[in-house]
Chain A
Amino acid sequence: MDNNILDIKDLKVNYITDEGTVQAVNGLNISLKKGESLGLVGETGAGKTTTALSVLRLIPNPPGKIENGEIYFEGKNLLEASEEEMRHIRGNKISMIFQDPMTSLNPVMTVGEQIAEGIEIHQGLDKQKSMEKAKEMLELVGIPKERSVDFPHQFSGGMKQRVVIAIALSCNPLLLIADEPTTALDVTIQAQVLDLMNDLKEKFDTSMILITHDLGIVAETCDKVAVMYAGEIIEFATLEQLFTEPKHPYTKGLFGSIPNLEEDVDRLKPIRGLMPDPTNLPKGCTFHPRCPEAKETCKKREPVSIDTGNSHMVKCLLYEEVSQSEGAK
């Protein structure tokens, strides 16, 4: 517990809309050690980005509201911190790389200004020194420093994402949250950006939460993986455990849907059904309508997260029953 840099406990986030209350995150638990990388995997709408924004307390309110839970960062509950304290954490100790580099930079400010801004706020440097540091950051992410006076529209998508990374890393954060940092980029640029992030992460010994729906990226960069479904972590394990022995039927489904290069198949094997309506989640296990192994009890009882050995956590009644019957013996 003490060497955990981040501990999220029983986090609950709702979006209150006219159509109903969207339960984006339901009782989520995550912990992360210093220097570790956690992959947060799940379909679109599983609540990954909401979780990340909660850590920075940047959920747009209204309509979003953190209903419940605790987020401990360096032993301090961020949900009880003042706005002023949060400002000192954002961009300084925790920073975030956003999904779409095309829209995450301010079109009317030069990239140099945008990088220098965070440095000026958090490191107490004057304008000129911040700009010098910003230029160093640009060089670090592989952009010539002369381009610091250019505006975002003069850069390509991959370069914009590098600028976003430079902003995120400019104050050597303890925790970096990368929200699908490569989704908007094409494959060759993806690899470059991932390599860059990995290098910088090692250089600064930064912990990272990598949000993605690409298991390949997870395999390349992460130590631990959390699989998210309908606002809950349904499986949490080390990279090796998860890839060699996925336990939750949903995780198995995710792996099953990856086409095998060696087999000749005509059709992909998707997980049947769609994500449940977040304003009206199914009773019992939220995955039961789509689960190939669902039983009658899955419709009624909500599973709890249990340890199946070596801290491999699964939230599924199949395993709960096994351990219960074992306990009965």
Chain B
Amino acid sequence: MSYDVAIIGAGVIGALTARELSKYRLNVALLEATNDVAMGASKANSGIVHAGFDAMPGTLKAELNVKGCAMMPELCKTLSVPYKNNGSLVVAFSEEEMETVKELYNRGIKNGVPHMKIIGKDELKAMEPNLADNVCGALDAQSAGIVCPYELTIAATENAVTNGVEFKRNCKVTAIDFNNGEFTLATTAGEVKAKYIIDAAGAHSDEIAKMIGDESVKLVIRRGEYFILDKAVGNTVSHTVFQCPTKMGKGILVSPTVDGNLLIGPTAEDIEDKDDTSTTPEGLKTVKTFSVKSCPSVSTRNAITSFSGLRAHPVSDDFILGPSKVNAQFIHASGIESPGLSSAPAIAEYLADIITKAMGGVEKNGSFNGVRHDVFRFRHATDEEKKAAIEKNPAYGRIICRCETITEGEIVDAIKAPAGARDVDGVKRRTRAGMGRCQGGFCGSKVVEILARELGTEVNTITKFGGKSNILFDKTK
């Protein structure tokens, strides 16, 4: 099969770009090296939709962040993805930091950020009473929000597949050839031919570029560690609370999540191994120390889990978007660090625009439907909706995950969905089964059973997240 476009990497950028391209009459393949979408930076980041005052005026980051932030609410609604416009605060602890706050405000004005204001201590404490007593003031950016990053990726992929994009998992690109105006990609799932490539391979996008002889993508892999705290303390703050930024990033934030938990982190540590998402004792300690500075009541005694995510920091400090100097049919989408998630909807449009302009005269896909199929969420349904759903499908009456109230019906839906779940973590990201207080202690084995049943396989072939992450060995004696 020869495709018009092969997108390498099913993170939030690859997925949204695939969906954007499915608006046109194009054959698009979305190639993912692992067992699921959103397995890199897209599953482990802060989930913040930044207002857009951080990036320097004139950069792609600045332009696409402000644009993406404005697009996010409507996109999330269309894709049934949780989003909340909770606003953000950059908190200053000294007069010197208040100067930084003013600088950020001015930068925001230049970048075109709407609804910002600088507030003093009293107003700040009235808005967020749990902040430390030594705060001086803050930059209040009302357009900022929070979103579930992996759910956005999952939804975008599902919708792209519904609109004709082909999703290939466990399809790691190992070599790229170019002959007669067409690329041939050698992958772990066979050969793929495509006229255009979009390199959205995240931390590995530099390696992909090198496969066509393009050495220009220079990345530093930066790791960030986080804690997720119990919903019992989810309302410690209502805004996303940043401290003043440093050259390593935006610092440790304290934020509610769209699911009602409290998120604290991330650290920023440059590392060598591009897949090393382990947490460290030092990193976790740093998160604790700095989050308490913003909110003294935050305690990791309420932690339900910790995790780390990797971001591909471009040495150039700006997103790398556009045709390669080596081959114009190879489009870079690299170095998408923060505000990458916030910018993602705008980046997808930007990349689709490059492709359609380059190909010239591409017809619109008349049957495109951007609305994601209905996803039933038992925990959000009214009694009447619950009754109706169980009548239609009794599996919605069987609770599998007791902490998050997730039903068997929702788990089966997640497996059967376009580009659906194939492993335990995939079910978890799509349904939240196993994401609660007990972290899958009770429901884990039931999810394994349901996966095996729906996929027609033995339970000991089921993995946590693909590869060799099997959960069970042989049968007992």
- Our verdict on whether A and B bind, yes or no, reads no
